[in-house]
Amino acid sequence: MSGIDIPMLTVFHSVRRRGSRPNLFRFMLECVLGLAVVLLMAWVAPGRGGSLPDAVWLSSLIVLLVAWLCGFWQAAIVALAAVAVPDWMARSLAPAYSFAALLTLMLTALLVSRSSERAARQAKEADTWSSQTRDLYEFTSHTLQIDLHVEPGQELAEMIQEIFALQAVAVFDADLHTVYQAGFWNADPQEEAQSVYHFGTSDDDPALGLVRRAVRLGSVPVGSLMMRGEISPLAADAIAVLVAITFDRFRAVANESLIETERRAEQLRATVLDSLAHAYKTPLTAIRAASTGLSEMGRLSAGQADLVALINEQTDLLNDLTTRLLTTARLDAGEVTVHAEAVNAGSLIDEVLMGLKDRLAGAKVGIELENEDLVTQCDRRLMTMLLTQFLDNACKYSHFGSAITLRVASSLTETVFSVHSYGPVIPMADRERIFNRYYRSSTSNHTPGTGIGLSVAKRVAAIHGGYVWVTSDEQEGTTFFAAIPAAREKGSAR
């Protein structure tokens, strides 16, 4: 056997047998052919009284070929026949030698047949994996061409069934909570597909011809896959990975589309706000001019003077709201340029308090400044808007008679402005969302407001390279924070 090309024999054997067990007719035919070869060898063998080595060698050669090409039992029958042929072995060899020859032939048949079966099995597995590798390549190519603007589950299920020639396929998308089916299922696979996802099942059931796989992105389950038909475990694992990747690509495209839609909606909203704010400015200017003229005319009764004062007050409020709308629209459109300068924190706070003088009348406002000479690099106008919003918010929502505290602290990397007050506790779920435009916390239902101010504060901090947040507790109260990059400098500041 040393001179025989094993790969060639393996291919020949796998092609001839195709890994299937021979039927009875074929079994008998192979035995008859083997016996015929034994008789032929006995008839043509030179010297009727052949020696034991010659007999064993010839018999081994025949048995070896039968064992390799047909199987163990065919070779065993041929071995028995080879020892029992009277003219070849029985008349010239002692029984002990006959027994030794039989044992040698049987062992040869056993070893060779096992090697043959193993080679055939490996050849079949190699052939199967090669075929499934080609199918995996085709499946991968098709997944890259899927239209990710529509849900890919149904197309994936149909693609897997067609490419891998399976009886049925079910794909469960956990995010959409939908089971997509292809092929024929005896029973609805929805419940089982969801169970595979929830329990993270990955197993094969040869009795049912069913393959189950949890579809994961890393360690996170995103769905499940069930297949009925013949497929290797490695191929099933690879299909599950490709399904997970396709799900992830679909989510990415969906999120990108959503972000783009939101961006366009926000752009349109900013444009509308800007147009409205500009449109409001003209009538507001006329109303203010008219009310000022009435006040200067004099000779107004007490009631008329009160009405004019009310017009002026409401005009100021509308003007302030319009200014906020304009600023918000410009901030979102990226039209506001930060004019950073060295600003003294104390003078900045004084300017904010002066602007809210009427609003803060009667309120208890405390200032905590860790350093009178604290200087930070910022846009004075924008930071004034941010702190004005924080203080205005505290005035609206703080309990009557409670203190409001404005603090400024700094570190090597940032300056933190905060406004503390006691009022309704802001729920945990609202603490990020209240900085979104038009969102108002459930605790502010009976307090007038537009839901714009805090979004402006957030945007102001962001364009400075900073951020905002809020803490709220029944005992500790509510504190709004704004942190911006610090620039600690001593000396003159504007």
Q: 3-state class of 334 per DSSP?
A: coil
pLDDT tens by residue, 161-199: 999 999 999 999 998 899 999 999 988 899 999 999 998
For residues 339 and 261, what is the distance between their CA atoms, to the nearest angstrom?
Answer: 31
- For residue 384, count other CB atoms closer than 10 A to its CB: 18
Residue 309, pLDDT > 70, answer yes
pLDDT tens by residue, 369-398: 888 888 888 989 889 989 988 998 888 888
pLDDT tens by residue, 218-266: 888 999 999 999 888 888 999 999 999 999 988 888 877 776 776 676 6
Q: Which CATH number is 147-257's, of 3.30.470.10, 3.40.50.1370, 2.30.130.10, 3.30.450.40? A: 3.30.450.40
Q: Are 167 and 181 in contact (CB under 8 A)?
A: no
- Enter the tokens of residue 139: 């499946």
Q: Say which residues have a Cβ less than 8 Å from residue 79's Cβ, sequence separation at least 6.
A: 59, 63, 102, 105, 106, 108, 109
For residues 273 and 428, what is the distance between their CA atoms, to the nearest angstrom?
Answer: 30
> 100: closest CA among 156, 53, 149?
53
pTM for the full model? Answer: 0.43
Residue 305, pLDDT > 90, answer no
Q: Which CATH number is 341-485's, of 3.30.565.10, 3.90.79.10, 3.40.50.300, 3.40.50.970? A: 3.30.565.10
Q: In Å, what is the CA distance from 119 to each residue of 9, 116, 231, 453?
A: 9, 5, 21, 78
Residue 55, pLDDT > 60, answer no
Domain ranges (residues) in the chain: 6-135, 147-257, 262-332, 341-485
Q: In Å, what is the CA distance from 64 to each residue of 45, 135, 279?
A: 18, 38, 102
